[in-house]
Amino acid sequence: MKKIGNSGYWELNLPVVSGEHRYAYILNNDSQIADPTLPARKKDDFGSENCIFEPLL
């Protein structure tokens, strides 16, 4: 990851294929949270919320 100036934001660029991708943030190695900026979410097999991202390729 790369910090974006003093904005408090970080950036990560990854190659992805088309289709549905799910992710969440892990804080301090013990707390999982969904991205608060994305409304599309689904629960995983453990009951935690994950964000859904579908890239337009």
Q: How far apart are CA 41 and CA 43, in angstroms?
A: 7
Q: How far apart are CA 38 and CA 53, in angstroms?
A: 9
Predicted local distance difference test score (pLDDT) of residue 31: 87
Element (H, E) at 43: strand 41-43
The pTM score is 0.65
Predicted local distance difference test score (pLDDT) of residue 57: 77
Which tens digit of pLDDT belongs to each residue from 2-46? 999 999 888 999 899 999 999 998 888 888 888 888 888 999 898
The conformation of residue 50, written as its DSSP 8-state character, comes to: E
Selected residue with higher pLDDT from 43 and 57 = 43
Q: Contact 20/52 with Cβ under 8 angstroms? A: yes
Q: For the chain, give every domain's residue range.
A: 19-57
